[in-house]
Each structure stands twice: as structure tokens, then as C-alpha cells.
Amino acid sequence: MKRFYDSVKKRLVYIGQEATPDMWDERWGKEDLLRLFFLRRYSLESNLIREMTGKFLRKGAKILEGGCGLGDKVFILKKSGYEVVGVDYAAQAVGRLNKVMPDLDIRYGDLRELPFPDSSFDGYWSFGVIEHAYDGFQEIAREMYRVLRPEGFLFLTVPAISRLRRLKAVAGLY
């Protein structure tokens, strides 16, 4: 994989393999899902997710995780008392999740055309997903807005350029 610093848009860009459903299915197909769920349940990341969600949403709130991947965050949120739906476009991963964890509501779908009515969710979690939309994330953002109820909450994470990465960019090391 090749990486470089885009000085015009001021971002770190990785190029080499497009983030397609097949790529994610291949990457995630090797994971031991039950072990992953067990390890993540009490991790520092899980505690942060529970804490951040709990600051803004009551137990029982309806949450969508867009781009749920292996479903571990859907699992964490469900075990924390929320009504959670996960959506991903990697069909094999979704099928495998539905077999291994049938009590989780994981659905196949495109984040640019979600199969839910307007204002369906109290919260929307997106864990490092939109940066994979190289041509832009406007369609994904429009759907996030559409499916959130008025006064709903968007929880969005993206990779950030740390001090070290910024120094490497300035030094021309990308």
C-alpha cells in the first residue's frame, strides 16, 4: 500500500487497495468472532463507547451503526442496553455475523441508501468509515442526517493526523 500526504487537502492518503465489500470480506473472514466479542466487551474502547453514548442517549434508545464491520460495537451497545441495528455492505461478513451472533440485528446495506424511514434513530455511530469514501462522503452524511430523528446524535470517529504524522508530512516522509 502506498501512502502520501495530500498538501492541498491536508490529509494523509493511502492508495493500493480500494475499500470494496470483497476486500472487507476477505480481511474480516479470518477473525474469530466469538473471541473478538469476548475481548472487546471489557476493553478500554468499549468503556469509552458506553460512556460517550450514555452522556447523550438513554438506555433503550435506538441506534444505527453504519459500517458495522465485524459487529463488535453493535454487540457492545446492545449489551449496554440500547436497541441497535448494524449495517454493512460486506455481504459475507454480514451473513457470517448473522450465523454466529443471531441475536444481533446486523443487516446488509449501502450507507448511501439506507433502508430505513426518515427519523428512525436516536443515535448513529460511525467508527472510522467515511474516510474510506475517497470521492467524498456527502451521500453518506446525507443519509446519516435523514435517518436521525430531530435532536438525534451523531457519533463519528475518523483517523486524525497526530503530531508525529504531521512532522513526517512536513519532512516529506510520505
pTM for the full predicted model: 0.78
Residue 118: the pLDDT is 98
Choose among 28, 18, 27, 7: nearest CA to 132.
18
Residue 78: the pLDDT is 96
Q: What is the pLDDT along the chain (174 residues), one digit of tens a residue?
A: 666 677 787 766 666 666 776 776 677 677 777 777 677 777 778 889 999 999 999 999 999 999 998 899 999 999 999 999 999 998 999 999 999 899 999 999 999 999 999 999 999 999 888 877 767 789 999 999 999 999 999 999 887 777 877 787 778 765
Residue 22: the pLDDT is 72
Q: Take residue 135 and report the three cell numbers written for it.
A: 470521492
Residue 55: the pLDDT is 97
Distance CA 102, CA 125 (A): 21
Please count the CA atoms within 13 angstroms of the CA of 57 that sit on its side-chain side. Answer: 29
Residue 96, C-beta contacts closer than 8 angstroms, at least 6 positions apart: 28, 29, 33
Strands 62-66 and 83-88: what pairing? parallel
Residue 157, C-beta contacts closer than 8 angstroms, at least 6 positions apart: 126, 127, 128
End-to-end CA, the chain: 12
